[in-house]
Structure 1
Amino acid sequence: MLKVVLWASLLAALAIPLMVAGFSPLLAWRDPVYIAAGFSGIIGLGLLLVQPLLAARDLPGLTPMTSRNLHRLLGVTLIIAILLHVGGLWITSPPDVIDALLFVSPTPFSAWGVVAMWAAFGAAVLGLYRTRLHLRFRIWRLGHAGLTTITILGSVIHAMLIEGTMGIMSKAALCVLVVLATARALAKLRVWDVKRRA
C-alpha cells in the first residue's frame, strides 16, 4: 500500500504542474513552438525530481540495477528536454537566446537557466564517459553530484523567477520537492566524503 501511495504521489507531483500549465490562459497568445519549448522546460524540471530519487534508490519496487539504468536513461532524456526548451526559444526569438547565452539578458532568470544548462551538460558528459575519463569513482561522483546540484539550484531559481504558464503554487511545490529530494540524496550517498567506500 505504501508503495502505491509513494508512486501516486510522485506521479501527481509531476502531472499537476503540467496540467496547470495546460489550462493557463497565457497559452492563447503563444505559438506552438513556444508552447512546446515551455512544456519541455516543465518536463525537465520534473525529471530533476526523479533523478535524485533514482540515484539514492528511494523509489520503491526498483532494483539497484533498474534504478541505475533509469537514472542514465532519464539523464539523456533531461538533456533532450533542455535542448528542446532552448531550441524552441531560439526559433521564436534568437536575440533573446543569444543575450541569455552571453549573460547580457535583462531578465535575471535567463542567467540562472544558462548556468543550469551548462552544468547539466557537464554532468551528462561525466555520466556518459565515466570510464573513459579514468577518474577515481569517489572523485567522479563528487564532480557529478556537484554539477547536478548546480543544475538543480539553477533550474529552481530559473523557474521561480519566471512568471509563465506554471501556477505559482504547483511550481513552488515542485521546486521544493526537487530541492528536498536532492538534499536527501546527497546526504544518503555522502558524496562529499571522498574517503568513504562506494
Structure 2
Amino acid sequence: MLVWAALVIVIAVPVAAAAMSPLLAWRDPVYIAAGFAGVVAMALLLFQPLLAAGLLPGLSGPRGRRVHRWIGSALVLAVIVHVVGLWVTSPPDVIDALLFASPTPFSAWGVIAMWALFASALLAGLRRRVPPRHWRRAHTLLAAVIVVGSVVHAMLIEGTMETFSKAALCALVVAATLMAFARLRVWAARTR
C-alpha cells in the first residue's frame, strides 16, 4: 500500500499544482485540456518502466504486461489530445514543431518523444511478428528516447506545471526507467 500511496502523491501533486497555475487564467478551454493532456502523459510515463520491470506490487507477470499495454494506449491517447488541442489553438506553432522549424527548443524534444512513442506503440502491435530479442532491444531503445525527449520537453517549458513538482516527477521518471533497464538487463543475463 505504501508504494501505491507514494505513486498517487507523486502524480497528484504536479497535477494539482498545474491546476492552480495562474497561467491558466483567461486561457481557452481547448488549450487548457491540451496542456493537461501533456501533464497526464508525463504522469502515465512514470508507470511504464515500473510495470515493464514488474516493480509494482500486485502487477507483475502477465497482469503487469496487460496493464503496461493499457497505460501505453492511454499514453498515446494523451499525446494525441495534447497535440490536437495545441493544433486547434495554434496550427502554425504545431506545424513549425512537426517540421522542426520552431524557435523553441522544447518543441523538437516533444516531437521526437511523440514519434518514438508512436513507433513504440506500432512495435507493440507487431510484437508477435518480430523476434523477441530484436523486439525487446527496439522497444527499450524507443522507451529511452521517449523518456529523454519527454523529460527535456517538460523541463524546458515554462508553463502550467509548477517547477519543483515537475522536476521531481521528471527525476522519478528517469530513475524508474534506469531501475527498469538495470533490472531487465540482469534478468536477460540470467536467462542466457
TM-score normalised over the length of structure 1: 0.93
1:23-61 CA deviation, whole Å, 9 max, x = no partner?
A: 111100311000000000000001110000000010012
In 2: Cα distance, 1:167 partner to 1:53 partner: 24
Instruction: Decide which of 48, 55, 59 is 1:51's aligned counterpart.
Output: 48
CA contact (8 A) 2:46 2:172 kept: yes
Alignment match, 1:31: 28
Aligned residues between the structures? 192
Does 1:15 find its partner at 2:12? yes
In 2: Cα distance, 1:34 partner to 1:148 partner: 27
Which residue identity does 2:75 align to in structure 1?
L
Alignment match, 2:82: 85
In 1: Cα distance, 2:25 partner to 2:154 partner: 21
Does 1:143 find its partner at 2:141? no
1:56-108 CA deviation, whole Å, 9 max, x = no partner?
A: 01001224121010000110110000000000000000000000000000000
Alignment match, 1:119: 116
Structure 2's unaligned 5+ residue stretches are none
Aligned-pair identity (%): 58
CA contact (8 A) 2:24 2:32 kept: yes
TM-score normalised over the length of structure 2: 0.96
1:126-155 CA deviation, whole Å, 9 max, x = no partner?
A: 111211xx2210110010010011011000
Cα RMSD, aligned residues only: 1.6
1:103-127 CA deviation, whole Å, 9 max, x = no partner?
A: 0000000000000000000011111
Does 1:170 find its partner at 2:165? yes
Structure 1's unaligned 5+ residue stretches are none
Which residue identity does 1:146 align to in structure 2?
L
> How far did 1:170 drift?
0.2
> How far did 1:197 drift?
3.5
Q: Runs of 4 or more off by more than 3 Å in structure 1? A: 195-198
> How far did 1:196 drift?
6.4
In 2: Cα distance, 1:29 partner to 1:109 partner: 23
